[in-house]
A and B are shown apart, each in its own frame.
Chain A
Amino acid sequence: EAQVTQNPRYLITVTGKKLTVTCSQNMNHEYMSWYRQDPGLGLRQIYYSMNVEVTDKGDVPEGYKVSRKEKRNFPLILESPSPNQTSLYFCASSFNGGAYTFFGPGTRLTVL
């Protein structure tokens, strides 16, 4: 089954404690992205990647890091999480960067 998986699905942590949210896709897609979704603000792109070792900032990259060492994986790293990073996070992948973008199930992060 074609899918994007994220782990963990739910995470409660404290300010400053480094965390990683993993993302993996099994569709051999070149493009992968991370989004955060907040009430009234919609989905905002954090980072995107066009291929292995090729990443670029989206609209809200501050406080986040990403890496793309393998085509299938695109982890999101919060080196020092803060309460304003409490949000619902989605990983997504696509063949051509636009149409047929598949989203993962989401990770609800709470930073205390």
Chain B
Amino acid sequence: QKEVEQNSGPLSVPEGAIASLNCTYSDRGSQSFFWYRQYSGKSPELIMFIYSNGDKEDGRFTAQLNKASQYVSLLIRDSQPSDSATYLCAVTPLSAGGTSYGKLTFGQGTILTVHP
């Protein structure tokens, strides 16, 4: 089993719809969870991070975390063609001292296409 697994894509949604991206992780010690967006030919950029169970909202983006189910998701409301990109889920452990020491594990990514 992969450490971080994302729902297989590509995912295609119409403009204005809600896009739902899912990610599961195998290490129960994982503490920090991140969503990155990567446009074709570009480097990843952080769009959301979440540490606690529940929802975290930032504009049109909502990250959801369920540590019991080892599941993290990203919802994109009112999807726009400019949201078309690869979305990467990443997780990191936390040491007892409260830092992750830079160890970051990514999923394989989900390609999202928003069509007009």
Contact = CB atoms under 8 A, between A and B. Distances in A.
Given A42-B88, A42-B109, A43-B106, A97 B43 contact: no
A13 B102 CA distance: 30
Given A42-B88, A42-B107, A99-B34, A90 B44 contact: yes
Contacts of A50: 101-102
A96 B102 CA distance: 7
Interface in A54-109: 56, 58-59, 90, 94, 96-101, 103-106
Nearest to B109: A42
Contacts of A98: 32, 34, 49, 92, 100, 102, 104
9 contacts: A33-B102, A42-B88, A45-B105, A45-B106, A49-B102, A50-B102, A94-B102, A98-B49, A99-B46
Given A98-B92, A98-B100, 16 more contacts: A32-B102, A33-B102, A35-B106, A42-B88, A42-B109, A49-B102, A50-B102, A56-B101, A94-B102, A97-B103, A98-B104, A99-B46, A101-B34, A103-B45, A104-B43, A106-B43
Interface of A: 31-33, 35, 40-45, 48-50, 56, 58-59, 90, 94, 96-101, 103-106
Interface of B: 32, 34, 42-46, 49, 88, 90, 92, 99-109
